[in-house]
Amino acid sequence: MVTAAEAVSTFIAGRTLADYQADLMLRSAVERQFEILGEALSRALRADPGLGERLTASRGAIDFRNVVAHEYDALSPATVWDIARHELPALAAEAAAELSRLDAERG
């Protein structure tokens, strides 16, 4: 999850919505990372159902992954851009904190 979120941040750094809309390869790369992130999160929640309480946007991220994967014809580049710029950073920070917590527990 963290790696996919970091990839999205890297891909869109220094870009504008217009850049994103005009670049099929960039859109494809970002959407693929959202698919990976949502799938990883879904698997993590199956392994640890309590994770959903610690990652506040987990259900939304999984739902968004499903839209990207299955309802791509209705997906607006502006929506993806907005989520990548405004919602993903908080989820990525929570996921990174969760990984740090798990690493500390393992010692």
- The two tokens of residue 20 are 């994103």
The overall longest dimension of the chain from CA atoms, in Å, is 47
Instruction: Compute the half-sphere exposure of residue 20: CA atoms within 13 Å on the CB side of its CA.
Output: 24
pLDDT tens sequence across 89-101: 999 999 999 888 8
Tell me the whole-structure pTM to 2 decimals. 0.91
Structure confidence at residue 25 (pLDDT): 98
CA nearest neighbour of 55 among 105, 101, 103, 7: 101
pLDDT tens sequence across 32-55: 999 999 999 999 999 988 888 888
DSSP notation for 33-62? HHHHHHHHHHHHHHH-TTHHHHSTTHHHHH
pLDDT tens sequence across 10-38: 999 999 999 999 999 999 999 999 999 99
Structure confidence at residue 54 (pLDDT): 87
- Domain ranges, ordered by start, for the chain: 2-106
